[in-house]
Amino acid sequence: MSRRNSAGPRPCAIVWMRRAFRVDDNAPLWHAVQEAAKIIPLLVVNDDPRYAADTNRRRFVRGAIADLDAGLRMHGSHVHVRVGPAPRELARAAAAYGADTVYAARVYHPSGIARDAAVARELARTGRRLILVNDLVLREPSEVRTQQDQPFRMFTPFQRRWQELADDVPRPLPGVQTLLRVPCAEGSTTVDRIPYFAGTREGLGEPAAALQLRRFLQKDIAHYHLRRDYPAAEGTSHLSQHLALGTLSPRQVYWSAYTRVQRDEAGMRTGPGVFIMELLWREFYYQILASFPHAQDHAFRKEFRDIRWHRSPRAFARWKDGRTGYPIVDAAMRQLNTEGWMHNRARMIVASFLTKDLLLHWRWGERYFMDHLVDADIASNNGGWQWAAGTGTDASPWFRIFNPVVQGKTYDPDGAYVRRYLPELRHVPDRFVHEPWRMTRAEQKAAGCILDREYPQRIVDHAKARAAALLFYSSSRRHAHATKSNHFAAAPEGQGSYR
């Protein structure tokens, strides 16, 4: 019920701007506007120097915030910024502005939930409230349950249940009108006064998201089901960064695709239908983290919790830098390092390679992705890594191991993707482009690509690494604590050892 017309002072609310860096269809902002006349869109940042880093991800975050500020200014308001820990700063801001309520988007990962509990406690000390609303997902994890009222552990039954509920997904919210301009209170400032925002480029956030969605709907969604698996094809939406940071709402994306599914007889088998299915993976991984909080830090499946992963910083460095000698893995890692984004098929390949060919901990890869992806998202990233490592929910059991050569030949048949990111392979003939070690010295010379000079020898022999991984995983399951073998150390030179 709106309190705007009630007698007495017009209430003030803070909207804690996090993972919802947009004005349109912003649920916390919309709910706040229904209740209060004075709205303070508040950003809480810390003074960690990493925020200033010149990485793809940091540039995108700063750009999205600059766009949010510009968008709010068009509605008469602006972003208010505070620097420090969230519980303390939100409580101080609420006191300084005279706000009795703080609105924010609900998060689902255990560390975020714990932080929000601390915020709520701090606000409650002065009789104020934190109100969390659903903005990150289409449906709250608690709304999609098994018949026994349990959370789903497998994607297929989850998506079946979801499809029964598909017509009732909340619609995008109406836009907000003019907001009252409120000057910064003591301890708050504006975005342009935060030193590391200097020189931030606008146009990366909400406006770019709307444009990207329009482009995808006009051009690529119709062929999505045919092209989405080919990294060179650019056949996917590239909306992940906008969904992850909230420069676009999941409701906007869902309904723009779902109305096409409703119109087409082929329904979910069309490009838009298959696209919706991918959005459901995102929903699924949020429900996994919300329902099984141990998955944030540990293997989802109990039997893999005590796995003794190998620890080779040298092998990890070669994986990170795209120098494993497997072109599809290396191209993908260089795409990540240069653009801050990687195609989904490529993510599955590099994750399988790290965990199954190199037997390195999925958490090393997960962390690296979180630091470098513009679309870094705790739930999808954790779910994707555990899926690939075979420690997660379903579909990719531990014994299914991606062969990087077969994957390359199937999904990048002419090597266009590999050559885009590995110019040293530009003149390598198609038949060798996914296995350059098969070239003779003369063929290497002719292609201008001498192994171990222009391009590395492969770090492991996949066939041997695969056999070792099967042994490693099965013995890890049997004797969770007893696995001490290190097949790389034991393998003869050139047959599985790191080079």
Ligand X SMILES: Cc1cc2nc3c(=O)[nH]c(=O)nc-3n(C[C@H](O)[C@H](O)[C@H](O)COP(=O)(O)OP(=O)(O)OC[C@H]3O[C@@H](n4cnc5c(N)ncnc54)[C@H](O)[C@@H]3O)c2cc1C
- For ligand X, the binding residues (CB under 6 A) are 228, 236-240, 243-244, 278-279, 281-282, 285, 344, 347-348, 351, 369, 373, 375-377, 380-381, 383-385, 388
Active site residue 344: yes
Active site residue 309: yes
- Residue with smallest beta-carbon separation from ligand X: 384
Q: Active-site residue among 281, 319, 341, 364?
A: 281
Q: By the 8 A CB rule, do 172 and 25 touch?
A: yes
Active site residue 454: no
Query: Shortest distance, CB of residue 447 to ligand X, whole angstroms?
Result: 31
Positive or negative, the CA dihedral 136, 141, 143, 146 is positive
Query: Shortest distance, CB of residue 47 to ligand X, whole angstroms?
Result: 25
Give the chain's radius of gyration (CA, Å). Answer: 25
Active site residue 278: yes
Two tokens, residue 287: 């429900």
Nearer to ligand X by Cβ, of 387 and 472: the residue is 387
Cα gap 385→293, rounded to integer Å: 16
Query: Shortest distance, CB of residue 434 to ligand X, whole angstroms?
Result: 20
Query: Shortest distance, CB of residue 9 to ligand X, whole angstroms?
Result: 42
Q: Active-site residue among 30, 162, 255, 309?
A: 309
> b/e per residue, 289-299, with b = 16+ CB within 10 A?
bbbebebbebb
Nearer to ligand X by Cβ, of 102 and 280: the residue is 280
Q: By the 8 A CB rule, do 136 and 250 touch?
A: yes
**DSSP per residue, 97-114:** HT-SEEEEE---SHHHHH
Query: Shortest distance, CB of residue 89 to ligand X, whole angstroms?
Result: 27
Active site residue 16: no
Length of the chain as a residue count:
499
Q: Active-site residue among 255, 385, 387, 398?
A: 385
**DSSP per residue, 390-417:** T-SSSSS-TT----HHHHHHHHSTT-HH
In angstroms, the first-to-last Cα distance of the chain is 67
Nearer to ligand X by Cβ, of 44 and 244: the residue is 244
Active site residue 364: no
Cα gap 401→130, rounded to integer Å: 46
Q: Active-site residue among 140, 278, 443, 454?
A: 278
Nearer to ligand X by Cβ, of 103 and 369: the residue is 369
Nearer to ligand X by Cβ, of 253 and 425: the residue is 253
Active site residues: 278, 281, 309, 344, 362, 385
